[in-house]
Amino acid sequence: MKLYDLLGQVISVFSKNGSSDHAKSLSYKEESLRDVVTQLDRQLHATAEEFLRANLPQTLLISEENFRATFPLRAIIDEDSSLLVDPVDGSNNLVLGLKEFGFMASLISQGTFQESIVVLPTYNFFIHWSLEDGLFVPRQLNRHFHDSATIYLAYASSLSSKSSNLRSELLSHADTASSGVYRYGSSCVGLYHCLTGAHSNFVGLELRHWDVLPFFPVLDSLGAEIAYRFDEDRISCIVSFQHNLHLKLLNILENDLGNFHAFNPALRLILQDQA
C-alpha cells in the first residue's frame, strides 16, 4: 500500500496542530462564508504535496486547496495517477470547536480507485482501504443499524435552481420516510456515520468530488449501495444501507437530475459526457 506514510503524517499533523488556535485561523474562499479555509487545511495540503514529491512524484495532486476552475475534473479520469485530497472536510466545525471534521484522500488511476484513507482525529479513528488488501480499521467498527436511523443531506453552498427545488423535495420526503434529516457541515463525518448506522442514507447534491469520492470504496467494501452522477465539476450521490429507501430517494434524484451510475471501485468513474 502506498499511502501508509501519508496516513502517518496526516495523523501527526492533526496531533500536533489540530487544537491550536493558529490551526483554526481562517480565511474564506470565493467570498462564501461557508467555504472556510483554515491554517490546518493549508498545512495538510502541504503535507500531501510533500508526500507526493518524496514518494510518488509522477502523481498529480488534486486538492481542495489547489483546485482552480481551469483544472478539469476529468484529470482524475485521464491521469495515470492522481491523489484527490480534502485536507479538512468540515473546516468551519474545526473553527467552531465542533468535533465533526476529517481528512480524506484517494489514490486514483485513470478513474479507478487504488487506495483511500480517511482520518477522523476527534474520533481517534482512521480508515484505510486498498484495492489490493481491502478495508482496514484500527479498532472494531461498532455498527448498529437502528430503525430510527436518519438521513444525512449535504449540499453545495450555492445550488442551481433545479437542485434547490430538489433539496426541498428531498427534505420533505426524508422527513416522512425516516427519523429526519441531519446535516452538520462535514460529508466526511456524515459518511462515517453511514458506516456506523446512525444514518441509513447519505444524499449529496452538487458537491465537490473530494467531499465524497474517497469514502466510496470504503462504503462499497461494507456493502453500501452507491449511485452518483457528475454534472460539470459537481457530483451528486446517494449512499445507502437501506435498500427500499435507497430506491425511493434515487428515484427522486433521477427524476430531477437524470440517470445516476452505480459505483464499482473496479470500474472507471463515469463523467456525464461519457454516459
Partner 1 sequence: MARALIVGGGAIGRGFLPWSFEDLPFDIYDASEALCQSMAERGGYSSFMSVEGELLEKKFCPDYASSKFGDFNLDNYDIVFIAVGPRNCANLPPALAKFGGPIFSIENDPNTVKIIKESLGIGNVYFGVPDVIASSTASPSNLAKDPLSLHTEDGVLYLEDSASVGEEIKPHLPNVQWVTQEKLSQEWDAKLFLHNTPHCIAAYLGFMWGRNYVHEGFSNSFVTRVVEGVIEELVLALKRSTKHNHDFLESYADKELRRFSNELLFDPISRVAREPLRKLAPGGRLMGALSMCLLSGVNPVHLGAGIAAALSYHDPSDRDYKSMQYLKHLEIKDFLRYFLEIMPDSLESRFVSKTHNDALQFLKLGLS
Chain positions contacting partner 1, by CB under 8 A: 4-5, 7-8, 11-12, 15, 124-126, 136, 138-139
Which one, of 261, 260, 237, lies nearest residue 170 by Cα?
Answer: 237
Q: Beta strand pairing status for 125-130 and 150-155?
A: unpaired
Helix axis angle, 39-55 relative to 4-17, nearest 10°? 150
Q: What is the rounded distance in angstroms from the CA atom of residue 49 to the CA atom of residue 249?
A: 38
Classify 138 in phi/psi space as left (phi over 0), alpha (psi -120 to 50) or beta: alpha
**Min dist. Cβ of residue 54 to partner 1 (A):** 14
Q: What is the rounded distance in angstroms from the CA atom of residue 154 to the CA atom of residue 174?
A: 13
**Min dist. Cβ of residue 6 to partner 1 (A):** 9
Which one, of 202, 217, 195, 219, lies nearest residue 253 by Cα?
Answer: 202
User: Would you say 82 or 130 has its CB closer to partner 1?
Assistant: 130
CA distances (Å), origin 145, targets 121, 150, 182, 222, 241: 24, 10, 16, 13, 9
User: Would you say 2 or 42 has its CB closer to partner 1?
Assistant: 2
User: Would you say 29 or 99 has its CB closer to partner 1?
Assistant: 99
**Min dist. Cβ of residue 119 to partner 1 (A):** 9
**Min dist. Cβ of residue 19 to partner 1 (A):** 11
User: Would you say 7 or 73 has its CB closer to partner 1?
Assistant: 7
The answer to whether 223 and 242 are in contact (CB under 8 A) is no
**Cβ neighbours of residue 158 under 8 Å, at least 6 residues apart?**
32
User: Would you say 125 or 184 has its CB closer to partner 1?
Assistant: 125
User: Would you say 18 or 197 has its CB closer to partner 1?
Assistant: 18
**Min dist. Cβ of residue 8 to partner 1 (A):** 4
Which one, of 188, 196, 242, lies nearest residue 215 by Cα?
Answer: 188
**Min dist. Cβ of residue 115 to partner 1 (A):** 13
User: Would you say 8 or 258 has its CB closer to partner 1?
Assistant: 8
Which one, of 245, 201, 198, 194, lies nearest residue 215 by Cα?
Answer: 194
**Min dist. Cβ of residue 5 to partner 1 (A):** 5
